[in-house]
Amino acid sequence: MASTMLSLASASPCASLSMPENHKGKMKVGSFEFSTVLGKERRNPFLKAKSSGRITMAVAVNVSRFEGITMAPPDPILGVSEAFRKDANEMKLNLGVGAYRTEELQPYVLNVVKKAENLMLERGENKEYLPIEGLAAFNKVTAELLFGADNPLIQQQRVATVQGLSGTGSLRLAAALIERYFPGAKVLISSPTWGNHKNIFNDAGVPWSEYRYYDPKTVGLDFDGMILDIKAAPEGSFILLHGCAHNPTGIDPTPEQWEKIADVIQQKNHIPFFDVAYQGFASGSLDADASSVRSFAARGLELLVAQSYSKNLGLYAERIGAINVVCSSSDAATRVKSQLKRLARPMYSNPPIHGAKIVANVVGDPSLFNEWKEEMQLMAGRIKSVRQILFDSLSAKDKSGKDWSFILKQIGMFSFTGLNKAQSDNMTNKWHVYMTKDGRISLAGLSAAKCEYLADSIIDSYHNVK
């Protein structure tokens, strides 16, 4: 353990000690051990004092090897929840974290999840390690859910699917693949994007830049800017796209715009990289929410897709997802899968089993699968309902003539309000509405009963805070 030597004089009351002239030795006071010398100069670089009748003491103080590590800033999303929990105001709202809540603003466990877990208990299934690539039944139904069970990609075995640690872990695994096998390749990320995307590529050592996406003037999509930036990217770049329900804006391209985006990507020999975190949870339809991915795959493009079941099955804490790589041949898919496994082994060895079996049971059982689709429609429907009520409240209360229709044009659990940081701070400090500082709110954390209160806070912050 490293230590620091401190010189102290006997002028301090605690250092006034009686001992013989020319005394040498060690003395223990409390938890400290002192080296002492009287009347002579101690030949020690740390001991500079020299006088008859004075005591010079060297104090050994333990210093941590981790002194150079600074305090990390709080996570911009998870930190919102921490602040919310400390607030005692009864009107407080947590619209920061993207987690579904009931109308009573309570966490919700899907009925199909409970049934799937009961099946696991009834079967007495064990907790043995999974293979590195994860549960085979999970990987099968996951790829089929994303691309469609009858898709030629599936039949031709051209999709390499590896179970990952939810969407985050799946993105990280893909980033490691890019760093190792596409050295120097750049990833283009939308501006703005989910707060963790940049962290993932930074930590993987993958260079990235942004393409225009959000237009603050219209609170809509900057489609022309997006196309120009994708065209300007170096050939062979990875273009990170949100498959549906763009986070944080809730703004998605139209089907026609998706086709134009695919045209440019194909022309520039880029590689599409989809992040699909809300399949079925955005519109209530699994097929509709996967249409962007399927349209790109139908062109014969090789692409990457990271998936998450946190939202659509409410499996937030199970950390269940997958990385899919669509290849031009089954041989290439086999090789890619082998390298994904090689990358996963030193990261986390193998993924967890509980969530994977829930997904396999739900998606693989026709009865549970149909029940799941109904529950997703109910969740998506509740979010659409509060979105409409919020819009109605804003339109009725705001007499300025401002057009709030962008709220209805957005989709999914988030709404980008257009509020800046100062206005978002006012939402929290004055109105106890907790949200991210970029103006994003999670409608999944809003109840119909709180829509008017939220509308009041937004109108006040928008008009009275600059």
Residues recognised as catalytic: 194, 275, 311
E strand or H helix at 254: none
Q: What is the tally of helices (H) and strands (E) in the chain?
A: 16, 17
How many CB atoms sit inside 10 A of residue 325's CB? 23
Q: Report the distance separating Cα 169 and Cα 32, nearest Å.
A: 48
Give the bridge partners for 28, in sequence order. Answer: 33
Residue corresponding to tokens 């393409």: 211
Cα 157–330–177 angle (5° rounding)? 100
Q: Is residue 427 a contact partner of residue 461, using CB atoms and an 8 Å limit?
A: yes
Q: Report the distance separating Cα 157 and Cα 142, nearest Å.
A: 14
3-class DSSP string for 330-367: HHHHHHHHHHHHHHHHHHHCCCCCHHHHHHHHHHHCHH
Angle, to 10 degrees, between the axis of helix 354-364 and the axis of helix 366-397?
100
Q: Residue 344's closest CA among 130, 121, 189?
A: 130
Q: Residue 148's closest CA among 314, 285, 34, 352?
A: 285
Which residue type is seen at 425?
Answer: D
